[in-house]
Amino acid sequence: MAMTMTQKILADHAGLEYVVPGQLIKAKVDMVLGNDITSPVAISEFRKTGFKKVFDVNKIAIVPDHFTPNKDIKSAEQVRYIREFVKEMGIVHFFEVGQMGVEHALLPEKGLVVAGDVVIGADSHTCTYGALGAFSTGVGSTDMAAAMATGEAWFKVPEAIKFILKGKPGRWVSGKDIILHIIGMIGVDGALYKSMEFTGDGISHLGMDDRFTIANMAIEAGAKNGIFPVDEKTIEYMKEHSTKPYKIYEADEDAEYSKVYTIDFSEIKPTVAFPHLPENTRTIDQVGDIKIHQVVIGSCTNGRISDLRIAAEVMKGRKVHPDVRCIIIPATQKIWKQAMKEGLFDIFIDAGAAISTPTCGPCLGGHMGILAKGERAVATTNRNFVGRMGHTESEVYLASPAIAAASAIAGRIASPDEL
Amino acid sequence: MKIRGKVIKYGDNIDTDVIIPARYLNTHDPSELAKHCMEDIDRTFHSRVKPGDIIVAGKNFGCGSSREHAPIAIKASGISCVIAETFARIFYRNAINIGLPILECPEAAKAINDGDEVAVDLAAGKIYNLTSGCEYTAAPFPDFMQEIINADGLMGYIKRKAAKATES
Ligand code: SF4
C-alpha cells in the first residue's frame, strides 16, 4: 500500500500498518501546544471534565505569546489562569516573558519538535514544523484539552497535493515569495483538508528559515499540514537544537497525489498579497504606487534571524520614510540576542525603526502597532483579513522582509532594487 | 435533533477574524464573545440574531485561526446550525468538538436566501427550505463524529470511553 510522507507518519502513530485517505484514526501525539488565547479554553474544558493529571508533563508546551507582555488586565488574568494550571500539573515546557518567543519559532529552536513527530497545537500555524519533516497541524482548544488528558488526537487521514520544487530563487526571492506565489495560484481553499507535500531538488536552495516560512503558510491555502523531506540541512538543524531522537519518513515513489504542481523558483518574482486575502497576490512589478503608514517585520512567518539579516541589509545606511512607523519584532529571545550581537539593531535604530520584545502583537491586531481607520501596513505576517491589524477599514499587505524593509524606506510598497 | 430558524446569509471565506475579532480574545466567556460575533463584517448581526437562527454561507467558512472562540461565539449567539458550501478544517473539527451542528451542502448553501425559513434534520442530513419548498441532503456524519456529538462534544466522549474502560 503506497503512502505519502504524512500518511506514513500517521499510520505509525496510530499503530497501523497503513492508512488510506478519508480514514478516521486516533494517533499518539509527541507534543501538544497551546498559547495564551487557546490554553485558557482548553484548561477550563480539562477541569470541567474532571481530569486530575495530564498524560505527560514533558509533552505539553504552553507559550503565552499573543498578548504578552500582558497588554491589559483581562489578558493578565488569562495568563495567570494558565500559570496556576502549569504549576499544579507540573508542566515542564512553559515559557514565561523573558524566555518566551512566538510559539512556532520557539518550539523548533528549543528542540521540542523533530522529524517524524506528530504535533498538535491549539494554533492554526502549528503546521510550521512540517519544515522539519514532522506531521504537525492546528486544532482547537477542546482537541488540546483531550490530548492533554489522553495523549491522543483524532484525525481524518488527508489526501496530498505534491509540489515539485525546482530551480534556484533569484535575488530578493525568499520562502515568503514562494508560498505567496503558491497560494496565489491555488487559492485560500486550494488545499482544503489536504497535505501539501514539498519535494524536488529546489529544496536544497532553501535554508531552514525559508522552509519554516513556507510550511507556516500551508494553512493559508486551507491545508491540514505542509511537509518537507528531511535532508542534511534538517539534520544539522536538529543536531544543533535538540537531543530528542528523530525518525525520517519518506513518501513511497508510487504514492497517490490528488494533484501535482511543478514550481520553478527561477520564475518567481517577489510577491505581495493585497487585502483582504492571502490569495490576492501580485508580483512586485505589478503593485503600482501604494503609500503606506506602517511596516511590521516579525511573526512566526518571518521573525527569524535570516529575516532580520535581510531587512538590515536593505535598511543599512538608510532612513525610514517620515510617514512610516517601522516596527521590528524578533520572534524569540535567542534571535533577539543574535541580532543584537550581529549589530542589526544599530542598523534598525539608526534607520529610525522601533524594536520590540518577542510577541505576536500587531500580527493579530493585539497590541504594539494597531492600525487606525484608512491606514495601510506592509507586514511580513501571514494574514491580511479584514480588521486583522486594527480598524476594519485598515489594510494589510503581506510581503517578505526584503520588500517590507524597502517599503519602510520608500514610504510605498517597493523592491530593494528601487531604492 | 430537529432545528428550525430564519436564515442569516454570508458569502465565501468568512474568516475567524471577522467571526470574532482578536481584540476580544482576552476573554473566553461565551456571552461576552457573543456580543461581538460577526461585528467586523455585519454590525447588525448581534441585534437581529434570534435563538434558533441558521447561518448559511459560501465556501471555506471559518478559515483562518484555530480559535474555538469562533464557533463558541456563534453558538452563544443562539445560532442553531451553520450550513456552508465548505468549511475550513479547523473550524469544522472545533464545531463538532463543542457541539455546534454544521452541515456541508453546496446546493443548499447556494440556493437558500437571507431571511428564508429553514428546518434541518441532523440525523438524516436533511435540509428543508420552508420558504421555497425545496429540499436538500447533506452528507451524513461518520459514526465516530456522531458519537462525539451524542456525547455532547469531545470531552464528554473521552469521559465516556474512560468510564467504559475502567468498568471492563
Ligand atoms: S505571530 Fe501571528 S500568526 Fe504567528 S502565532 Fe502569533 S498571532 Fe498567530
Q: Which of A66, A154, A224 sits opposite B89 (nearest CB)?
A: A224
Q: Contact, A65 vs A36, CB < 8 A?
A: yes
Which candidate, B23, B15, B74, B99, places its Cα nearest to that of A279? B15
The 10s digit of each residue's pLDDT in B58-72 is: 999 999 999 999 999
Phi first, then psi: what are they for A130, rounded to 5°?
-55, -25
A143/B89 touch (CB, cutoff 8 Å), yes or no: no
Task: Give the whole-angstrom CA distance, residue A49 versus residue B28.
Answer: 17
Q: Does A240 touch chain B (CB under 8 A)?
A: no
pLDDT at A300 over 70: yes
Looking only at the bridges linking them, the beta strands covering A281-283 and A271-273 are: antiparallel
Which set of grid coordinates corresponds to residue A129?
514544523
Under 8 Å between Cβ of B158 and A146: yes
% of chain A at pLDDT higher than 70: 100
The CA dihedral of A395, A129, A231, A1, to the nearest 10 degrees, is: -110
In SS3 terms, A37-48 reads as CHHHHHHHHHHH
Structure confidence at residue A367 as a pLDDT band (50, 70, 90): very high
Strands in chain B per DSSP E: 2-9, 54-57, 81-84, 102-104, 117-121, 126-129, 135-137
Give the residue from chain A lying closest to B61, CA to CA. Answer: A189
∠ CA(B128), CA(B131), CA(B134), 5° rounding?
Answer: 40
Res. B165: pLDDT tops 80: no
Q: How far apart are CA A7 and CA A261, in angstroms?
A: 19
Quick one: pLDDT at residue A386? 95
Average pLDDT, chain A: 97
Q: What is the spatial distance between Cα A143 and Cα B93, in angstroms, rounded to a whole number?
A: 9
Are B67 and B30 a contacting pair, CB within 8 Å? no
Q: Is the peptide bond before A241 cis (omega within 30 degrees of 0)?
A: no
Closest partner residue to A38 (CB to CB) among B60, B66, B98 is B66
Spell out the SS3 assignment of A385-416: CCCCCECCCCEEEECCHHHHHHHHHHCECCCH
Q: How far is CA A374 from CA A29, A292, B15, in A?
A: 44, 10, 21
| Interface residues on B facing A, Cβ-Cβ cutoff 8 A | 13, 15, 17-18, 21-23, 25-28, 40-41, 59-60, 63-69, 72, 86, 88-90, 93-94, 97-98, 142, 144, 153-156, 158-159
Q: Is A116 helix (H, G, I), strand (E, B) or coil?
A: coil
Q: Which residue in this structure is represented by grid cell 486530575?
A: A52
Probe site for chain B from A385, A395, A396 (most B CB atoms < 10 A): A385
Distance (angstroms) between ligand 1 centre and the Cα of A152 equals 25
Among the partner residues A72, A140, A189, nearest to B60 by beta-carbon distance: A189
Cα separation, A149 vs A47, whole angstroms: 10
Residues of B whose CB is below 8 A from A26:
none
Alpha carbon distance A43, A39 (integer Å)? 6
The residue among A103, A141, A394 with the most chain B CBs within 10 A of its CB, best to mutate, is A141
Helix (H) or strand (E) holding A232: helix A232-241
- CB neighbour list of residue A32: distance below 8 Å, 6 or more residues apart: A59, A60, A61, A119, A120, A121, A144, A147, A148
Percent of chain A with pLDDT over 90: 98
What is the Cα–Cα distance from A366 to A37, expressed in whole angstroms?
11
Mean pLDDT confidence for A130-154: 97
For A289, other C-beta atoms within 10 Å of its C-beta total: 7
For residue A36, the model assigns a pLDDT of 97
Of A24, A142, A224, the CB nearest to B98: A142
**Does residue A361 carry a pLDDT above 80?**
yes
Sign of the dihedral through C-alpha A344, A346, A350, A352: positive
| Rounded CA separation B8/B133 (Å) | 18
Helices A344-351 & A305-315, crossing angle to 10 degrees? 50
Query: Confidence band (pLDDT; 50, 70, 90) for B149?
Result: confident
Q: How distant is the Cα of B138 from the closest Cα of chain A, in angstroms?
A: 17
The predicted structure's pLDDT at residue B168: 52
pLDDT of residue A140: 95
Residues in chain A: 419
What is the structure's pLDDT at B167? 63
- Phi and psi at B19, nearest 5°, equal -65, -45
Residue carrying the nine cell digits 539593531: A345
What tens digit of pLDDT does each residue of A315-324 get? 999 999 999 9
| Atom 1 of ligand 1, residue of closest alpha carbon | A299
**How many angstroms separate the alpha carbon of residue B81 from the centre of ligand 1?**
29
Q: How far apart, in whole angstroms, are the C-alpha atoms of residue A261 and residue A72?
A: 46
At residue B139 the predicted structure's pLDDT band, cuts being 50, 70 and 90, is: confident
Rounded CA separation B101/A225 (Å): 25
Calpha distance B62→B89 (Å, rounded): 8
pLDDT at A20: 95
Q: Are B64 and A124 in contact (CB under 8 A)?
A: yes
**pLDDT tens digits for range A32-81:** 999 999 999 999 999 988 899 999 999 999 999 999 999 999 999 999 99
Q: What number of other Cβ atoms are within 10 A of residue A261's Cβ?
A: 15
The 10 Å Cβ neighbour count of residue A248 is: 13
This model of the complex carries an ipTM of: 0.91
Q: Is the distance from CB of A404 to CB of A312 less than 8 angstroms? A: no
**What's the pLDDT band for A247 if we cut at 50, 70, 90?**
very high
For B76-101, the pLDDT digits (tens) are: 999 999 999 999 999 999 999 998 98
Q: Does A146 touch chain B (CB under 8 A)?
A: yes
Residue A253, Cβ density class (10 Å: 0-12 exposed, 13-18 middle, ≥19 buried): exposed
Contacts of B18 in chain A (CB under 8 A): 385-387
CB A415 within 8 A of CB A172: yes
For A37, A72, A104, A398, the CA distances from A78, given in Å and listed in that order, are 8, 10, 20, 30
Residue B166 has pLDDT above 70, yes or no: no
